[in-house]
Every structure is written in structure tokens, then in C-alpha cells.
Amino acid sequence: MRVEVCDVRFGYGASGPEVLHGVSLTAEPGTLHGVIGPNGSGKSTLLRVIGGVANPASGCVLLGGQDIGSLSPRKAAQLVAAVGASEAVIFPFSVEETVLMGRSPHLRFLASETFLDVAKAHEAMERTGVAPLAGRRITALSSGERQRVLIARALAQEPRVLLLDEPTAHLDVNFQVEIMELVQALAHESGITTIAVLHDLNLAGRYCDRITMLGSGQVAACGSPGEVLTEEHLLDVYGVRAIVGRRPELDRPAVFVISGSPRHGKPDEHRGGGVSSGVDDIE
Amino acid sequence: MPRSRAHRTRIILLVVAMLAVVAWAASAGTAGIPTSLALRIVISRIPLVGRALARSLALLTARLPGSLSDSWDPSMLESAEIIVLEVRLPRIVLGLLVGAGLAATGASFQGLFRNPLADPYIIGASSGAALGASIGILSAGRAGLAALSLSSPSSYIPIFAFIGAVITVIFVYALSTVDGHMPTDTFLLAGVVVGSFVWAVVSFLMVTAGEDLPKVVMWLMGSLSAKSWAHVRMTAPYVLVGTAALTALGRDFNLAACGEESARYMGLDVERFKKVVIALGSLITAAAVSSSGLIGFVGLVVPHIARMMIGPDHRSLIPVSALGGAVFMVAADTLARVIIPPREVPVGVITAMAGAPFFFYLLRLRKKG
């Protein structure tokens, strides 16, 4: 299902400052579309607007030509699923119970899950490799395991569009690669339109089919990874001087951050997207 | 739904515990009515099958040595019947309702606010009810509403308390809603702030209360003493309908417990859900508090125990909490009646004295586990 974002403007609250100043993008079915940009550029907000959780002040989001604003939350959830930047889990639901919750938008009021729903939940768990964890408490899982459980829950919704907000945040390199390979495979094999906000430029460059780069609430660049991840764009939008090379194993850009540009100052904040993909995130 | 056999066994045990507690509560007391007779009187009032059951129970117990019921003369039987049916039974039924309502609301609020410390009183219903009740007690004493207060001393205070609770929650809700959105954190804060303001007003009223002060204090401590079927009739619809409705929303509670945004992405209309739950929870709480005063810890502790028994799935957690709350409440109230006869301890004192250490024990247990 094609996702079209048409000239969306958005601000938090009636009087709050505008966060998105007319953003447009198109994500095609079966592709992994990355959204990158410095902190505060509006990436996560854009994702919330696409998911129908935040209503734009003007402009619209079309899912297969249908305005998401016109859909009820239940109908919208039958089309779009999301894995948010980790919300704290405080109740000890089991992994199976958690994934089954993804069936909710397809269930009527008061209806219980049928065997079909359980089967679909198990299929989703197989797909993300968390089936062996079915009986475990979600509160007792590692970050990497929990992220895969949440992706399984999103898949159980049988969405046409999947939104991911920094799916690799707080994960070590091995789990980052694992999650990105899973997400890429889901997009390419299941035909789900996948839009992922990513902060790691090298992961974005390696796995995304197309990338939209946001800078202070506007689209700064859009296109293939090679077209977007350029030295000029990184200097303009992130304010860092970088060398963009080629990955040795495939024709994809690789970003090496050299230093913060003097005219922007404070380079340290942005170095996470640099050479040491992932290493910065170990806490 | 309870999936495993262990869960089903625990629910059956809870039902058995409830029947046992009701039997204890019906027969315990200073009137010296034997257990078998008290049970016979209660059972005979069960619709349809009651008469037959009572008769067979009488036949069974008549053979047992020491059975007094047959040697009683009719007038004593009649007074026993009045004590059981008009004094003890309404109190038991009210205890079941109040306990069930508070515990179900507590479980719901803990899920909605994603906060294990939430209880039915957190959003200001308790302080509002206290203010309403104080105003009711004091104005009756002061303005010389003698006719009103003499005819039915406890019939109008619940109405004052109910109105006070509902107005306070509406005020908290209005205070924390901006642009049609109500962030739960703001709502909790507003509840606490408004609550402490209202409590200050209650304290002020107590200072000026004069000879009515003991009445206000007794009301605040919470008690099921001297309750009639009128109290039951006033409380029952809110608790029964409210708890059933909260149970029906069980799946939505599970989604909400994952976080508001996640819930929204799974198709839940979060703002509407919050409104519905707060409305149901406050009506249940207002009905419970207005008929029995402030009884603490039931709404906080029982949901935690229920969660340990059958897990966090709200579709079974809410009804099991209600069942557990009913058992806990009637047991505590019966203890309050028999612990230092012939005096009665306010049941709120018992629930806090039993609830607080038990809660602490559970916390320790969980840390070790």
C-alpha cells in the first residue's frame, strides 16, 4: 500500500511552535523507506502523523489513496502498525499475550481471540524468531528480544504499512544488524510498506531503499541512499564535516564523520551517526 | 480469559472462600444465634432453590448433637430471623459490593495510569466524598435539620458524599484537560493537588465542628456498621453495572497498559477510553465511599494479590480483583465486629492494619523472587 504524505504542517498544541513545515514524501509498497535527520528535526513527529496518532494542521496522509484522518483508530490499526521508541513495560504480560494484543484491531467488542488469531500470533513470533520465548515474561527480556517481540506484535496486526521509530536504539551492533535485516526482509518479502526513523546513518545507508532527510521540519533531501547521504547534505543538515565512501561489500554509501563544523558548534551530539556504527550506543 | 487449569482452580477457591466468609459473617456476633440456624435463614432467602435447601439443611443438622434450633420457641426464631436478615445480611451484601467495587476500580486505575500505586481514591473521589459528608453532617447538626436527621440519620449523608465525590472528579478532569486531551500524568497530579486542597477544607470544617466532630471522624474512618437494605440498593447498581462494564473493557485495558501511543497504534481510541474508565471508576468509588466511608487498602492491595494469582490480563484480573475485594472486605468487617466485643472497630482500621503489612510482605517477596 502506497503511503503519500502531502505538504504536512504540524505543531504541538494550538499555540506551540510548528514542528513540520510542509513535509511531503511517498513510500512505495515493498520498500524500506528511511527517515533521518538531527535530533529535533521532526522525524518522530512525522512518523506519528503518518500513523494517524497526531493530526496535521494542514496537508494530509494518504494510505493507498485513503486519508488516514478519515479512519477510526480501529480501522487505521488494521492498515498501520507501529513499533515505538521503547515505552516502558510495567505489567508482566507473557510474550504470547503481548503478541496476541496485536490481533485487537481485528476483533469485535467482547470477542475473544480464536484459534486463527493464536495461529497468526505464532506465525508472527516464528517470523521474528521469538517463538521459543512464548511463555516468558516480557519484563524479563533483554532489549533486543523485547524489540523483536514488539515487531512480532506489529506483524500480528497484519498491517499494510509498518512504522518503526528508531528500532535499533539502545541495541548492540549484532542486534542492530539482526533487527535491520529482519525489517528489510519484511519489507521486501511481505510487501509491507515500511517506514523507519533511524539515527544511525550507516544503518540507514546500508538497508534502506530510499531515504528522506529532514532538517528543522523540512525535507532537506530525498532519494536513494547514495543521493541523500552526501558530504554536502551532512554539512548543511547535521552541521558535521564527513567523508562519504563506498561500503566494501556492496554499492552503498558509508559515512565517516570527521568533525563538527565550526559554524554549527557542538559537534559531539551528532557523532552517533558516524564511523563507529553502534559502538556509541553501548551503555 | 483464564487459560490454565491453575488459574481456574484459584478462581474456584476464591468463590469457596467467599461463601465461607459469608457464612462466618452471618453467624458471628453477640446475639448467640447458632451457625446452622443463621445459615438456614440466609439460605432460605435464596430465590427458587432456597426453601428446599434450607429444609434439607435443617434435616441434616437436626440429627447432629447440640443442635439448638429445634428447641427454640417461635418468638426467638423470629428475632433471630430479624437479626440475620435485617442487620447482618445487608451489612454482608454491602461489604461484598464495596469490596468488589473498590478492588475492581483499583485494578482498572492501575492499568489505565500504568501505575502500581494507583487506587480508587487517587483521583479525588475520596476527598470529595469526605467534604460532602462533612458538610452533610455539620449542616444537619447546625441548621437544626432535626426532622431530617432524626428520621433517618444515615440516609442523607450518602447523597451528600456521592455528590461531593462526583463534583470533585469532574473538577479534576476539567482542570487537566487541554484541547480535548487529558494527559494521565497531569490528571494524577491534578487529582492529588485538588485532593489535598479539599482535605484542607475538610480539616477546617472539622475544627469548627464542635460536638459533631466524633460523627465526622467516625465517618472518615469508614464503617459498615448499622447499614440497611437502603444502602445496598443505593450502592448495588453502580458497583454491579460498573464492574461488569470495566470487565467488558478488559482487552482495551491490556492495550492501554502497553502505553498510550502503542494502544492507539493497536486501534484503541485512547481519549474516549480514558473518559469512560474515569467515569465508571468514579461512580463506583463514589457509590462505595458514600455508603461506607473511607475504607483504605482494599483498592490498592487486592489488585496486586489478584495479579499475582492470575497474571496481568485485565479480562480476568478485574473480575478476580472484584471477587477478592469482596472476600477481603467481608472478612475484615467480621473481624472488626468480633475482635473486641461488644465494641466495634471501624473496618477501615482493620483493612489498613491487615493490608499494609501484607502489602509490604508482597513487595519483599517479589524482590526476592
pTM, 2 dp: 0.87
At B175-228, the pLDDT tens digits run 888 877 888 888 888 998 999 999 999 999 988 888 888 888 888 888 888 788
Chain B nearest CA to A163, separation (Å)? 10
Burial B66-77 (b: 16+ CB within 10 A, else e): eeebeeeeeeee
Domains of chain A: 3-229 (3.40.50.300)
Please state which CATH class domain B5-30+73-368 belongs to: mainly alpha
- CB burial of B181-210 (b: ≥16 within 10 Å; e: otherwise) equals ebebeebbebbeebbeebeeebeebbeebe
Share of chain B above pLDDT 70, in %: 88
Chain B residues within an 8 Å CB radius of A75: 267
Residue B144 has a pLDDT of 56
In whole angstroms, what is the distance from residue B190 CA to residue B48 CA? 50
What secondary structure letter does DSSP report for A137? Answer: B
* Most confident of the following: A144-153, B52-61, B131-140, B314-323: B314-323
Give the confidence band of B154 by pLDDT, cuts at 50, 70, 90.
Answer: low
pLDDT grade for A262, boundaries at 50, 70 and 90: low
Which residues of B are less than 8 Å from A81 in CB distance? 265-266
Instruction: Identify which of B326, B340, B341, B335 has the alpha carbon closest to the alpha carbon of residue B354.
Output: B335
CA-to-CA distance for B110 and B92, rounded, in angstroms?
27
Among left, alpha and beta (phi > 0; psi -120 to 50; other), residue B178 is beta
Question: Could you give the CA distance from residue A19 to residue A56 in angstroms, rounded to a whole number?
Answer: 10
Rounded mean pLDDT, B227-235: 87
Amino acid at B53: L
Nearest C-alpha neighbor of B39 from the set B96, B95, B80: B80
Contacts of B265 in chain A (CB under 8 A): 51, 53, 77, 80-82, 84, 154, 163
pLDDT in tens, A88-106: 777 889 999 999 999 999 9
How many CA atoms lie within 13 Å of B138's alpha carbon, on the beta-carbon side?
A: 18
Of B178, B254, B266, the CB nearest to A77: B266
Q: Which residue has the cell 479512519?
A: A71
B266/A110 touch (CB, cutoff 8 Å), yes or no: no
Residue in chain A closest to B115 (alpha carbons) equals: A90
Nearest CA in chain B to A155: B266
Q: 3-class DSSP state for residue A209?
A: coil
* Interface contact flag, B265 A110, Cβ < 8 Å: no
Inter-chain residue contact A13 with B267, CB threshold 8 Å:
no
Average pLDDT of the residues in A159-169: 92
Give the three-class secondary structure for A161.
strand
Substitution target in A12, A90, A106, A112 with the highest count of B β-carbons within 10 Å is A90
Grid coordinates of B312 = 496481568
Q: Average pLDDT of chain B?
A: 84
ipTM field = 0.86
Average pLDDT of B270-279? 92
Beta bridge partners of A8: A23
Which of B266, B309, B310 has the highest number of chain A CBs within 10 A, making it the mutation to test binding with A? B266
pLDDT of residue B141: 67
pLDDT above 50 for B261: yes
Residue in chain B closest to A75 (alpha carbons) equals B267
Where residue B104 falls among pLDDT bands split at 50, 70, 90?
very high
Q: Please name which of A171, A170, A201 lies closest in space to residue A274, comparing C-alpha atoms.
A: A201
- Give chain A positions within 8 Å (CB) of B1: 112
Domain spans in chain B, listed from the N-terminal domain onward: 5-30+73-368
Whether B257 sits inside 8 A of A13 (CB atoms) is: no
Taken in order A38, A39, A40, A45, the sign of the CA dihedral is positive
The answer to whether residue B78 scores a pLDDT higher than 50 is yes
Top mean-pLDDT range of A124-133, A246-255, B111-120, B178-187: A124-133
Displacement of CA A44 from its chain's centroid (Å): 8
What average pLDDT does the segment B329-354 reach?
A: 88
Query: Using an 8 Å Cβ cutoff, are A182 and A128 in contact?
Result: yes
